[in-house]
Amino acid sequence: MKGILPLWKPKGMTSHDCVAKVRKLFYTKKVGHTGTLDPEVEGVLPICIGQATKIVPFLTDTTKTYKAVVSLGTATDTEDAQGSIIEKKAVGISLSKQILENVLQLFLGEIEQIPPMYSAVKVNGKKLYEYARANEDVERPVRNVTIHKLDLLDFDNDQHRFTIQVVCSKGTYIRTLCVDIGRSLGYPAHMSYLVRTETGSIMQKDTVSFNELEQAGERQQMLLPVSTGLKHLDVLEVDENMKMKVKNGQKLALPEKQLQTDPFTVMFQDDVLAIYQIHPDKPNCIKPVRVFNE
């Protein structure tokens, strides 16, 4: 069995909880998720099963799309609605489409973020949330992330909040983005709602719920092929003669085809055989990164 389960993660479960439940439903230990979602967040959580676990880091590396609500006037220690309020300020601004869109423009492209204290980022071998719970101060590392798209969906002047849609690189903290946007408007802020609507090429419409899984007779039919999780990589098609060399993990001569990504997927017909990359020491050769033996 191999494939990608396009799970719609429900609120109230950690990503690890979801993996544990999928292991039971599919009777296999070989299961891995492709990007953590906080317990109170719902959304697209692709889960790799069997040989598909080999592509976890590649699928994790894809862009993500979120819808989030930025609430002005209060900041929390967790940067979301679950935390304790640490700052308040009366909102004296009337939100408008033009004001908000001007501010959102400031966050497009590569930006710097300081991860929230309540996060799993490690500093000196210890997670930030462990420092936070112990009331210990620690210098947080600055990280570079990329915001590919940032659109205003709607705004509510009475509630001093607005909804944004974000397409971003892996490692982006939407909570922190909401706080920083609020700061640019001159107010403390927090993220009061978040949903992930896309991971790579897997969208909300492609997903299945745990309820649907539990009702299904043939759960394996709900799995997407491994190639779905690799659509962001270029493809090198090989013939029958080359197929066995690839499956045996052999180094190969650099193909004539100009490859648009490195690494890239090697396929025979509709079957993913391996993920290869240009050899770091021999630029005229390609070498395997992952080989699918089944």
Q: Which of 38, 77, 156, 271 is catalytic?
A: 38
Token code pair at residue 284? 């005229």
**Does residue 61 have an active-site annotation?**
no
Which of the 8 DSSP states describes residue 145? E
Q: Can you tell me the distance from the alpha carbon of 139 to that of 109, in angstroms, rounded to the nearest whole number?
A: 25
What is the SS3 assignment for 201-258? CEEHHHCECHHHHHHCCCHHHHCECHHHHHCCCCEEECCHHHHHHHHCCCCEECCCCC
How many secondary structure helices (H) and strands (E) does the chain include? 7, 18
> CA torsion 9→37→41→189, rounded to 10°?
-170
The runs of H, that is alpha helices, within the chain are: 15-26, 56-60, 97-105, 128-133, 174-184, 210-215, 240-247
Cα radius of gyration rounded to whole Å, the chain? 22
Write out the H or E segment, with its range, that includes residue 6: strand 2-9
Catalytic residue positions, numbered: 38
